[in-house]
């Protein structure tokens, strides 16, 4: 009973647990892979804007898996991110459909413009 009440306020405890595990896995990566994974993680937190916990947990789990695999295989960081790390990060984020904080504002903007157009037609 208490867990459901807490989750209502804070979100899924299981998702938080998974997120912390993925962060620990990133922290355990060898030098350059850890640096790259942390940089991408930080960028995705700002750029992604995903508010859906399931999507966010999946995305960060996949990011962690990617860097663990690269470290295991010895794949150079540049081969993963290419010449434009920003484009890589943004393409990575676009692969995860989820509810984003900006969705609400996009809907409001669209509605406001439609309302303005209707007013103008009167």
Residue 83 DSSP one-character state: S
Total domains, the chain? 1
86-110, pLDDT tens digit by residue? 999 999 988 887 666 677 888 889 9
Distance CA 32, CA 50 (A): 27
11-43, pLDDT tens digit by residue? 678 888 999 999 999 999 999 999 999 999 999
Check which CATH number belongs to the domain holding 6 and give it. Answer: 1.10.1900.10
**Cβ atoms of residues 28 and 72 within 8 Å:** no
Tell me which residue range forms the domain holding 111: 2-121
pTM above 0.85, yes or no: no
pLDDT score of 1 more than 80: no
């Amino acid at each position: 009973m208490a867990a459901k009440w807490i989750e209502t306020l804070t979100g899924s405890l299981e998702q938080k647990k998974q997120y912390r595990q993925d962060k620990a896995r990133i922290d355990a990566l060898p030098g350059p892979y850890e640096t790259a994974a942390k940089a991408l993680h930080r960028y995705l937190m700002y750029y992604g804007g995903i508010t859906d916990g399931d999507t966010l947990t999946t995305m960060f789990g996949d990011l962690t898996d990617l860097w663990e695999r690269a470290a295991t295989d010895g794949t150079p960081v540049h081969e993963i991110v290419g010449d434009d790390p920003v484009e890589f990060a943004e393409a990575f984020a676009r692969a995860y459909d989820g509810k984003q904080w900006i969705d609400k504002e996009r809907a409001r903007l669209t509605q406001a413009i439609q309302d303005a157009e209707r007013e103008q037609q009167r």
